[in-house]
Amino acid sequence: MGDVVGHGIQASATMGRLRTAVRTLADVDLPPDELLTHLDDLVIHLAAETGAEESTGDVGATCLYAVYDPVSHRCSLAAAGHPPPALARPDGTVEFLPVPAGPPLGVGGLPFESMETELPENAVLALYTNGLMAVWNREIDESRLLLTNALAHPGGSLDGTCDAVLRTLLPDGGALDDVALLLARTRSLDAAHVATWDVPADPAWVARSRRDVTERLTEWGLDEAVFTTELVVSELVTNAIRHAVPPIRLRLIHDHSLICEVTDSSSTAPHMRRARTFDEGGRGLLLVARLSQRWGSRQTTEGKTIWSEQTLPVGLPTGLPGLD
C-alpha cells in the first residue's frame, strides 16, 4: 500500500513508476526493509529528475509492504512513513500492528526496520492511506476507534466490510485527500499441502529426493508435473550439496501453483550465468529458470532459500490460496 505526496499528472506518474518498481522487487523476493530501501533510492532519483536539489520528504511517498506465508502463518512488514495496518482477529478483536514507522520514501540515508508477527487463519488485515483517517474536525484517535468498530465483524464478505469502513469513516462531503483501502483475509495451507525432507550432504541423496518428490506429486494427483519437478529438484539439491552448507532442507508447497524450495545454511546467493560450450557445469540455474514460471533466492536468518514456482497444467488440482 502506498501514497504519493501531491496530486495531478506528476503524482500519478510517480505512483506508476513506484508500482512497477515494487512489483519488480517483489519478484526478487527481497525482505520488506530491504525493498523499501531500494524504493527510497528510486524516489530520490525521481526527485532529482524533476529538478529538486534536495529531498526533505515533501517530495516523496509513503509505503507499507507486507509478505504473508500461509504455511507458517508468519507475516513480515515494514513501513516508510505509512499508517500502521489494523488486524481484525476471527473473534472480533481489532489491533493496530506496531510496525516501526520509518521515514517517508525520498528522505534518504535513514534505515527501515521490519517486524514479524503471526496472523491467525481467517483474520482480516486492513491497509489504508492517511486520507481515510485524516478528517479536519476529527482526532486521529477517534478515527482509529471508528475503524476498529467497523472491522469488529471480520466474518462477512470483504466487499461488505470495505463498504462499512468507508461509510463509517468518510465525511458526508467526501474525503479531503485520496483514499485507498485494502482488506486481505488470511488463509492457511494445512500439512496435506506441504511436504518437507531433510537432505544429507551426500550426492547419493539426489536420486532419493527425486523419488520422494515423485511419490508426493502422485499422491497429490500431479502426475503431469512430475517430469519437470524432478529436473528442478535434481538441480537445486545438487547445487546445495556441492556448494552450500548443511543442514539442507527440501520443501514442496501445493498451492494455486507448485513451489519447490531448497534451504541451506550458506548466505551466498546463487549466480546464474550462461555456460560456454566446453564447460562441464554451470547450466543448472538456467535450466531451473527455463522450467519455472518464476524462481529466486531469499535470505533467511540461518542462510538462504532458493525457490522455483511452476504453473499447474489446466485441470490439475490446486490447493487453497493464502489470501483472499
Quick: pLDDT tens for 262-299.
Answer: 999 988 877 655 444 444 455 678 889 899 998 988 88
Selection from 67, 63, 60 nearest residue 26 by Cα: 67
Beta strands in the chain (DSSP E): 2-4, 61-69, 74-80, 86-88, 94-96, 114-118, 124-128, 181-185, 194-199, 248-254, 257-264, 294-300, 303-311
End-to-end Cα, the chain, rounded Å: 16
In this prediction, residue 59 carries a pLDDT of 55
Bond before 313 cis per omega within 30 degrees: no
SS3 187: coil
Q: What is the mean pLDDT of residues 12-24?
A: 89
CA 194 to chain CA centroid, Å, is 19
- Residue 250 gets which letter from DSSP? E
Name residue 127's beta-bridge partners. Answer: 182
Sign of the C-alpha dihedral, residues 158, 163, 167, 171?
A: positive
Compute and round to an integer the Cα radius of gyration of the chain.
23
What does the pLDDT read at residue 309? 94
The pLDDT value recorded for residue 251 is 97
User: Residue 109: is its pLDDT beyond 90?
Assistant: no
| 3-class state of residue 72 by DSSP | coil
Domains, the chain = 2-185 (3.60.40.10), 191-311 (3.30.565.10)
Q: Do residues 309 and 257 make contact, with C-beta atoms less than 8 angstroms apart?
A: yes
In this predicted structure, which of 41-50, 186-195, 302-311 has the lowest mean pLDDT?
41-50
For residue 82, give the C-alpha cell: 505509512
pLDDT score of 6: 75
Higher pLDDT, 11 or 78: 78
Taking the C-alpha atoms of residue 323 and residue 236, their distance in angstroms, rounded to an integer, is 28
DSSP letter at 65 equals E
Buried b (16+ CB within 10 A) or exposed e, 224-241: ebbebbbbbbbbbbbbbb
Pairing of strands 181-185, 248-254: unpaired
Q: What is the pLDDT of residues 224-263, one digit of tens each?
A: 999 999 999 999 999 999 988 899 999 999 988 999 999 9
